[in-house]
Amino acid sequence: MINSTPQVVTIAGSDSGGGAGIQADLKTFQARQAFGMSIIIALTAQNTYGVQSSLPIPSDFIDSQFHSLAEDFSIKASKTGMLADTEHVLTVVENFKKVDFGPLIVDPVMVAKGGHQLLEYDAVQTIKEQLLPLATVVTPNLPEAEMLLGKSITTDHDMIEAAKSLQALGTRNIIIKGGHSQNTEASDFVLLENGESFWMSAPRIKTASTHGTGDTFSACIAAELAKGTQLKKAIITGKEFIQAAISQEIFVGHGHGPTNHWA
Ligand code: PLP
């Protein structure tokens, strides 16, 4: 049957080291058996030691990538990752108003684990005001949720309140990822559009191979949505997938290695 293959797109930055960004997303789409496409916002020169430099792609070329995909494919889900700066966030917002790429997962990527800034600070407000209202799901980690809301989040209660605040701002479904907390378990709080909420907990795994975890998690959810999986199930599958990816360590490079996409 024509167009029966699940098709999914990532709008993000390239990681030359293959562990995060566009590369992690495409590997995850492949592992989840969805046909993956990419709209590249920026290039990074990167390895397991960190990001050495980055180069944003001109906005009119981002328009061209959106146009090429919209003209041909039946995209059933999408995700955003590294968006670089305000100009690029606005370019993505304007394009999303013109195309239908299905449910949108916004992973509000801000700073890489090594400390390199992947989004200019003044773009956070634009993400909050213009991109989040278009999102089906937003997946901030604790530092990202703190930046979006301008307050510190330390307790479980804070995570619940943060999810409610993001929903009040117009985001439909929220996952606050607890991976950066000091707790023995990595617990994420999920608040759905219908008011249902739940925690997803998994044992914290001692490993240095966590590069690209956030990208992989949101990419898995996007792939599942493209396949027609119901949202709650897609989110739980995302958690299971990332837990398996972190548990079965691979050894690549000499710094903080990537997660395992074929776990
Ligand atoms: N580089 C790019 C291009 C990314 O999109 C991301 C995603 O968040 C990262 C790096 C971050 O990687 P890390 O998981 O090491 O923070």
ipTM: 0.93
On the question of pLDDT at 89 being above 90, the answer is: yes
Take residue 127 and report the two structure tokens written for it.
């993400």
Encode pLDDT of 148-169 as tens digits: 999 999 999 999 999 999 999 9
Look up the pTM and report it: 0.96
Take residue 66 and report the two structure tokens written for it.
């959106």
| pLDDT for the residue numbered 183 | 74
Give mean pLDDT, residues 6-17: 98
What range does the domain containing 70 cover?
7-247
| Ligand 1 centroid, distance to 261 Cα (angstroms) | 15
| CATH classification at residue 20 | 3.40.1190.20
Q: CA–CA separation, 51 vs 57, rounded Å?
A: 17
Answer yes or no: is 88 within a domain: yes
**Cβ neighbours for 243, distance < 8 A, ≥ 6 positions apart:** 202, 205
Backbone angles phi, psi at 39, to 5 degrees: -120, 115
Give mean pLDDT, residues 207-221: 93
Within 10 A of 172 (CB to CB), how many other CB atoms are there?
Answer: 19
Provide the pLDDT confidence category of residue 184 given band limits of 50, 70 and 90.
confident
Answer yes or no: is 61 within a domain: yes
Element (H, E) at 146: helix 142-149
| pLDDT for the residue numbered 3 | 56
Answer yes or no: is 263 within a domain: no
Q: What's the domain count of the chain?
A: 1
| Ligand 1 centroid, distance to 262 Cα (angstroms) | 19
Ligand 1, atom 11: closest residue by C-alpha:
112
On the question of pLDDT at 42 being above 60, the answer is: yes
Answer yes or no: is 66 within a domain: yes
| pLDDT for the residue numbered 203 | 86
Take residue 80 and report the two structure tokens written for it.
């955003």
Judge contact between 256 and 211, C-beta under 8 A. Answer: yes
| pLDDT for the residue numbered 2 | 57
Which position has the token pair 């995570």?
A: 159
Return the top range by mean pLDDT from 162-166, 200-204, 205-209: 162-166
| pLDDT for the residue numbered 114 | 85
Answer yes or no: is 259 within a domain: no
Spell out which residues line ligand 1, taking CB within 6 angstroms.
12-13, 15, 20-21, 44, 46, 51, 81-82, 109, 112-113, 118, 211-215
Answer yes or no: is 1 within a domain: no
Mutate to test the pocket of ligand 1, among 55, 82, 85, 142 (most ligand atoms within 8 A of CB): 82
| pLDDT for the residue numbered 209 | 84
Answer yes or no: is 167 within a domain: yes
On the question of pLDDT at 180 being above 90, the answer is: no
Q: What letter does residue 227 receive in the DSSP assignment? A: T
Provide the pLDDT confidence category of residue 93 given band limits of 50, 70 and 90.
very high
Q: CA–CA separation, 248 vs 154, rounded Å?
A: 29
For residue 140, give the nearest of 129, 127, 157 by alpha carbon: 127
Hey, what amino acid is at 257?
G
Answer yes or no: is 128 within a domain: yes
